[in-house]
Amino acid sequence: MPKWLDNAIFYEIYPQTFNDTNADGIGDIEGIIEKLDYIKGLGCNAIWINPCFESPFKDAGYDISDYYKVAPRYGTNSDLRRLFEEAHKKDMRVILDLVPGHTSTDHKWFLESMKPEKNEYTDRYVWTDRVWNRPNEMPGLTNNGCLIGISDRDGAVLTNYYSSQAALNFGFYNIDDPKWQQPMDAPGPRATFNEMMNIMRFWFKMGCDGFRVDMAFSLVKNDPDREGTIKLWQQCREILDKEFPDKALVAEWGEPENSLRGGFHMDFMLPFGSSHYSDLFRCENPYFTKKGGDISEFIKAYEIAYEKSGGGLMCIPSGNHDIERIAKYLDSQEMKIAYAFIYSMPGAPYLYAGDEIGMRYIEGLRSKEGGYERTGTRTPIQWNDGVNAGFSDAPEYMLYTPIDPDENRPTIEAALADETSILNEVKRLIAIRKEHIALQSNAKITFKTKSGYPLVYLRECEEEAVLVIINPSSKTVDFETELSGEKFYENGSINYKNGKYIIDGGSAAFIRIR
């Protein structure tokens, strides 16, 4: 495990809408460099940047056409190298988004694979043997789609998500049709794996500190229990441990019991998979609202994954570019209590840019680059009350997506000046987390309550033990325990008397008991 992950606190940047410095309406790498001091000022010491490689942008950059080149709209490879360098000067880390399961159909590898003549790329993608032979449903295919009749090559090519994303060939765990399904150790799948490793090596040598791996579960096909995919990532991790032991590998998998066993250092608790993450912040009755919800299934899933994690980190994000913003479901006070939870849980917390000021989810936007309903989560960051909320000097019609039209929209400038803002509460919580090793990534967690209110858990390590008590509901509740000590964080009111904590509605506290 890279040592820097012990207390990593991530800030996720959707580069298209973060900060535009050349007035073309799209954020850029220079814009990220310009805001490094702001990110560091929040307390975040690591950044995850969504895909910034060359792409036709039919899926917002998750359809890569050249893994070795920064998309010109963001800048150059030299700009990205400078971002790594400037971040490192500030003791910050930067990880990139890697999409290993598919490429754009514009990628030169795919164009070569379409040729009927055998060549180096013929088996780089998953093709059937005949154009009439379309794949049946099988585990490992995310949409069971294919493209047919697109070239003179006889066969149908599998897609991994959208029809513009051809599935790369990492082999099949179970082979039903040997005429076209190749084992994992066949030359084509091995060449794909080796090229993925070369891509990672290239950016590591440029200064990148790790990768968040998109759809990490999707590589090996017909792999119902993910055993083939787990084996593949174990091979990757073995290589990285030898060559780049300080680099991080983060999975978009949503099943920590599988991804962490596969060698990833971290996985996210996500709306898909078995985590019940949506029960916390994004459902009809989220747990972290005054009206109340149910956290029991989340805790049950968390404890199972935690037991099987093998020392890896399970990360709870405020949100990300694929899901509705947290502010759609929680008001400002509810968000503050939710952040008390996020920044006191094990694993590395992730803050999606804009969530620190409670940016709104914008309903009804026209889809942009395959975003569809996700587009409302990908609007420009609201820096100030200036032109285009300080995001860009471009004319409004050139902006990647519209700015939140609400005249009362929150801005970072205003939030920094308001001691009671969500942003300043986030800063406070991050600072406390950094000061207390029991609240950091690796300290043990024991849930003292597993349903209802309050939520109580103990974080402990050799140096200290901290009791976390959270009551998002509107009702005053109590909790009996002999564990008492010094409160060093409180939002709301929590008091201890006669062996019992009395917790007002909408309150959270951290109590050092050792």
pLDDT tens track for 483-496: 999 999 999 999 99
Q: What is the mean pLDDT of residues 300-312?
A: 87
Q: What is the pLDDT of residue 272?
A: 82
| pLDDT band at residue 270 under the 50/70/90 scheme | confident
Q: What is the pLDDT of residue 53?
A: 98
Q: Which element (helix H / strand E) includes 494?
A: strand 494-497
Cα gap 183→199, rounded to integer Å: 23
Q: Which element (helix H / strand E) includes 479?
A: strand 477-480
Chain position carrying tokens 């999409």 = 99
Q: Which of 396, 449, 316, 405 is closest to 10 using CA atoms?
A: 316
Q: Residue 404: is its pLDDT beyond 70?
A: yes
Cα gap 238→79, rounded to integer Å: 30
Q: What is the mean pLDDT of residues 56-83?
A: 98
Q: Residue 422: is its pLDDT beyond 70?
A: yes
Q: What is the pLDDT of residue 310?
A: 77
Helix (H, G, I), strand (E, B) or coil at 60: coil
* 274: DSSP letter: S
Q: Which of 35, 52, 55, 54 is closest to 44 using CA atoms?
A: 35
Q: What is the pLDDT of residue 142?
A: 60
Q: What is the mean pLDDT of residues 161-178?
A: 95
Asked if 83 and 29 count as a contact pair (C-beta separation under 8 A), the reply is: yes
Cα gap 366→379, rounded to integer Å: 12
Cα gap 249→226, rounded to integer Å: 18
pLDDT averaged over the chain? 96
| pLDDT band at residue 144 under the 50/70/90 scheme | low
Distance of CA 259 to the CA centre of its chain: 14
Handedness of CA 202, 263, 165, 148 (dihedral sign): positive
Cα gap 7→434, rounded to integer Å: 7
Q: What is the pLDDT of residue 308?
A: 84
Chain position carrying tokens 């460099």 = 33
pLDDT tens string 337-347: 999 999 999 99
Q: What is the mean pLDDT of residues 186-204?
A: 98
Q: The whole model's pTM is what?
A: 0.97
Q: Residue 405: is its pLDDT beyond 80?
A: yes
Q: What is the mean pLDDT of residues 423-449?
A: 98
Q: What is the mean pLDDT of residues 275-285?
A: 95
| pLDDT band at residue 143 under the 50/70/90 scheme | low
Chain position carrying tokens 């055993």 = 227
Phi, psi torsion values for 481, nearest 5 degrees: -165, 155
Give Cα separations from 447 to 55, 325, 345, 414 (angstroms).
45, 27, 11, 37
Instruction: Show the domains of the chain with their CATH numbers.
Output: 444-512 (2.60.40.1180)
Amino acid present at 488: F
The share of the chain scoring above pLDDT 90, in percent, equals 93
Cα gap 128→179, rounded to integer Å: 8
| pLDDT band at residue 228 under the 50/70/90 scheme | very high
Q: What is the mean pLDDT of residues 349-377?
A: 98
Asked if 375 and 325 count as a contact pair (C-beta separation under 8 A), the reply is: no
Q: What is the pLDDT of residue 137?
A: 65
Q: What is the mean pLDDT of residues 62-73?
A: 98
pLDDT tens string 88-142: 999 999 999 999 999 999 999 999 999 999 999 999 999 999 999 987 766 656 6
